[in-house]
Amino acid sequence: MRYGENVLPARRVPSLPIIFLRSLRDPFTAVLACLALVSALVAAWATASVIAVLVVVSCALRAAGEHRADRSAAGLRELVASTATVLRRTDDDAAPVPREVPVDQVVPGDVVRLAPGDLVPADLRLLRATGLTMHQAALTGESAPVLKYPVDEPAAQAPPGAGRAHALDDQDFDRPEVCFQGSSVASGSGTGVVVATGADTRFARADKPHHDDRRTTAFDRSVYGISWILIRFMLLTPPLVLMANAALRGRGLETLPFAVAVAVGLTPEMLPVIVTTTLARGASALARTHQVIVKRLPALHDLGAVDVVCLDKTGTLTQDRPVLDCALDPAGRPDDSVLHWAAVNSLWTLQLAELPGADALDEALLDAAEERLPEDALEYDAVAALPFDPVRRLSTAVVATPRRLGHHTLVVKGAVEDVLERCRLSDEERHRAVAFAGRLAADGLRVLAVALAERPASGRPYTTADERGLTLKGLVGLRDATAESAADALAALGHRGIAVKVLTGDHPGTAARACRELGLDPGEVVTAASLDALSDAEVGELADRSTVFARCSPEQKARIVRALRERGHVTGFLGDGVNDLPALRASDVGICPPEAVDVARETADVVLAAKDLTSLDHAIVAGRGGGATIAGYLRITLSSNLGNVIAMLTAGLLLPFLPMLPAQVLVQNLCFDAAQLAFAYDRPRAAMLRRPLKLQPREVLASVTGFGVINAAADLATFAVLVWAISDTRGETAFHAGWFTENLLTQALVMVLLRTGRGGGIPTTAGVLALTGLLLPLSPLGPLIGMAALPLAYYPLLALVLTLYAAALYWLTRRPRALRP
């Protein structure tokens, strides 16, 4: 085939093995794998095996969660169109006849027919059109249908069949003679020739990501940031232990297993498992209970950190259809008779002109008339109709005048300026009417004027020349219908401490009005064109203090999002169209509603599969819960590990023997690691869910250092107790047992006293861990790993040390926020 199939570039759900291999790129997982390799090289097979199991479990959990999310998102995919009506010849001599062909078989040069509701299968140049208007909101963000009509000399247009050599330019959305793939017919009909298909369409080119669009996310800056700091310490630990033991104790490579064990002791080996399990459980619960699909597991954590949500108006806050807002007489007073005559025009123009369907504005007027007027209010003897055209910008219906035999009434409806030109008005009256319509338009309404004229019945056909000497009846104003759950969603975001920014391609007045209707104060609306003269820093300052940005291009939306991120905000972007793709990629979390175009769903990190936008609030709460669990785990585990490593290194330099054997360190880590699984099932307290939760590496490390020093002090106090309480006959084995017991007991205390949630079985798990520390040295397993029973005098002294340790932890938790878990 010369042009290839008319399909978007292939998007395949990655297989489970591919996702598993990708998860190995996680920095912490990679370092754990390296530690397992080093352990294997020094014949520490048990250590290597345990670390390898942790790596495999973490990667498997992560891969399963993301693969399930990818398949769910793929299930939402909709075709741009399934078939198209194309005029083709059956043979060279035959006349072209309409044929329904699959969209992927449409090629440049095909002539396509369009009818109301049709999705445009490719980029077309119009040859003929009758009252044709298109919905382009998915491409431009403009909620109003756009009028389309053929022109005699299309500017810079590719000839039919030009294909890849003449793809449409980025500025072509304003061209009236071009219909774009991804748009749909709002009203009217048309015929056009295909000028671009497949990857050459404007729709497909908008989906090509820029290399710098997806930047480092909040998850990368927090969890990965902490991980990289720990990785540096882990890599430094083995050589430091080796050098210190060689210099002070004359020990050689025989301490390498101990050095690796110390590095493993500093490592929160369960971090990948806890993070993946916590986020996978949260994502699974969201999909099951609220129909929220999290396609990228770290995005759930990022949702919990979001403090600014930027969103498009059309398709998210509002629907792609207008509703009647007001019907006013020329003095500005409500008058249902204006609605009555406007609906008469809509109904009989549609019926007599044999239009293929009513446009969105006529549908809104007819729906309002059905609700507010008597059932038979629109019943007239219709005479003629002059349909809307883009030149005169109005339509006329002619009906028999009630109770006046031999008279007809012309009902004219259309653009305010064009209707007023045909009315009998003084200059002052015309100026007053124009100003009044301007105020309504500035308030975000689409305004139409309605005028009447009575004529004696005549046998000749009515023409546009009869649209003169009209009497202005009044104005009708229409607004965008708001999404049913949008007001509740905005209120929920505000309650969660999240600022909302509206970035739309729509008119400033339309955007401001929609915000006010939904309870969001628009403030001073910023027109995006004013951003072009500002630096990125100035854009960030303006974005911080402004709520609504109107007339935004896709690139301007992305620039605002990036500027907010540069100012330290964690941003989410909620959008549904092709024009939202750059901003979806530039944000920390890309979110889209269920009606979003296919490429927007593919790009987004989170898909709200339910039509209720309040499901976004549930997703944010789940993200904060997951973030709180991860933060609590990091603070508890790292403080305990840091204290143990400091004490172990100190004791290793002071004692003539190793303070713990590598096997004992491994068993201790295994016990603590198993207990840490309870963190993944912890339920954060309600106070943790009220505000955005950001993991700041410096704050976490400050907290870890404070608690780690207390832990190290307890360990060293235990070291002094052991030196005093243990006789020379029991020596190393009793010392190892005493320190092993104290380490597990302090870790159990840390789990209980520093936990940030409730439930999840942490107290029970900590109790089991404490019993393991007390009983294992006394069991038959104790001698197998080099431990002996302890003298009874040791236990009261250990209880005193633990009591002081618990009191110090309790005191520190009441100190300034930086040290709190």
Rounded distance, CA 642 to CA 638, Å?
Answer: 6
Alpha helices in 353-387 (DSSP H): 360-372
Burial of 9 (0-12, 13-18, 19+ CB in 10 A): exposed
DSSP state of 314: B
Rounded distance, CA 317 to CA 608, Å?
Answer: 14
Q: What are phi and psi of 50, to 5 degrees?
A: -65, -45
3-state secondary structure of 41: helix
Catalytic residue among 312, 605, 617, 682: 312
Sheet with 394-400: list strands edge to edge. Answer: 318-328, 471-482, 446-456, 407-415, 394-400, 382-386
Annotated active-site residue 312? The verdict is yes
Pairing between β-strand 146-147 and β-strand 571-574 as defined by DSSP bridges: unpaired
Q: Which amino acid is at 96?
A: P
DSSP state of 405: T
Instruction: List beta partners, residue 394.
Output: 414
Lookup result for tokens 């290839």: 4
Q: For residue 398, give the H/E element and its range.
A: strand 394-400
Beta-carbon count within 10 A of 130 CB: 17
Residues 252-263 as b or e (16 or more Cβ within 10 Å = b)? eeebbbbbbbbb
Burial of 624 (0-12, 13-18, 19+ CB in 10 A): buried
Task: Encode 250-271 in three state secondary structure.
Answer: CCCHHHHHHHHHHHHHHCCCCH
Asked if 265 and 649 touch (Cβ cutoff 8 Å), the reply is no
Q: Which two tokens stand for residue 250?
A: 């004359």
Active-site residue list: 312
